[in-house]
Amino acid sequence: MSRIRGFFFDQDGVIIDTERDGHRVAFNMAFREMGLPVQWDIPLYGELLQVAGGKERLLHYFHSTGFADAMEAPEIDHLIARLHARKTDIFITLLESGALPLRPGVRRLMEEINTEGLLLGVCTTSNERVARAVAMKVLKGIRFDFVLAGDVVARKKPDPEIYNLALRRCGLDARQCIVVEDSHIGVAAAKAAGLFVVATPNDYTLKEDLGKADLVVSSLGDPGGEKGALLGGSVAFPYDGVLRAKQLVDRFSR
């Protein structure tokens, strides 16, 4: 029998619903500070989220809109590096101010994972400084075995490289781990690595095709707060609105 021994969490949109009112806002503030005539509204940012990674998102936008046409490659790379560094500073300030709360059930489920003695890791394309701010400050008190973030891998999601690296880092088999993701590209990356996947979509990803996930719920849920709803998945699962670590371990262990 292969028993579940580890959980990997994506960050943006899963741990904190950071995209619309966090990263997007920080990008726009950085654009203004640097005098750039760029403003990412809510629908546009939803489209840009199909490109994983902040620097990659900037590069895609600048080339697709012609903004970078008059710039040489080193110049555009330098601009992106400066923009992304400043955006990261702004975003961390937003995080530390408490303006971006955790999604329902995240801390509770992580505490249960710690209590059960299971491995807990973060696998995100987000900047490493941001990832560590979330893990060490916003989620202070939670024990993480590792945080993999940013440019730790060459190929971003939907490529499975970050999840393959996580498996090598913890020494577990893919069928011993559950991933919590929120998007089509995240689910695709985890399934390509052979992992079980629980998807918790947010406002930006709710209409994406998450059909490859083993379980899809609106949120992880809290007993005394917001309850989640079962939205789909490929396994039968008794869900009362609160997803529990032991329940997941028992269901996905083979």
Q: What is the pLDDT of residues 9-32, one digit of tens each?
A: 999 999 998 888 899 999 999 999
Residue range 3-12, pLDDT digits in tens: 999 999 999 9
Confidence of residue 1 (pLDDT cuts 50, 70, 90): low
pLDDT higher at 236 or 198: 198
- Section 168-180 average pLDDT: 97
Residue 117 has pLDDT above 90, yes or no: yes
Catalytic residue selected from 12, 17, 182, 214: 12
Q: What percent of the chain is modeled with pLDDT above 90?
A: 77
Residue type, 29: M
For 77-95, what is each residue's pLDDT tens digit?
A: 999 999 999 999 999 999 8
pLDDT score, position 96: 85
**Would you state the pLDDT for residue 98?**
83
Structural domains in the chain, sorted by start: 6-17+102-252 (3.40.50.1000), 19-96 (1.10.150.240)
CA 62 from centroid of its chain's CA atoms: 24
- pLDDT cut 70: percent of the chain above it: 100
- Asked if residue 71 has pLDDT above 90, the reply is no
pLDDT at 59: 93
Which residues make Cβ contacts (< 8 Å) with residue 223, sequence separation at least 6? 108, 242
Average per-residue pLDDT for the chain: 93
Stretch 90-102: mean pLDDT: 89
Residue 10 known to be catalytic: yes
Q: Is 12 a catalytic residue?
A: yes
Q: Kindly report which listed range (25-34, 61-70, 145-154, 155-164) carries the lowest average pLDDT score.
A: 61-70
- Write down the pLDDT at residue 122: 98
Assign 142 a pLDDT band (cuts: 50, 70, 90): very high
pLDDT confidence of residue 238 = 84
Provide mean pLDDT across the span 39-65: 92
233 pLDDT band, cuts 50/70/90, is: confident
Mean pLDDT along residues 57-77? 89
Which residue is catalytic, options 10, 17, 214, 222? 10
- Dihedral pair phi/psi, residue 230, rounded to 5°: -75, 120
Average confidence (pLDDT) over 92-116: 93
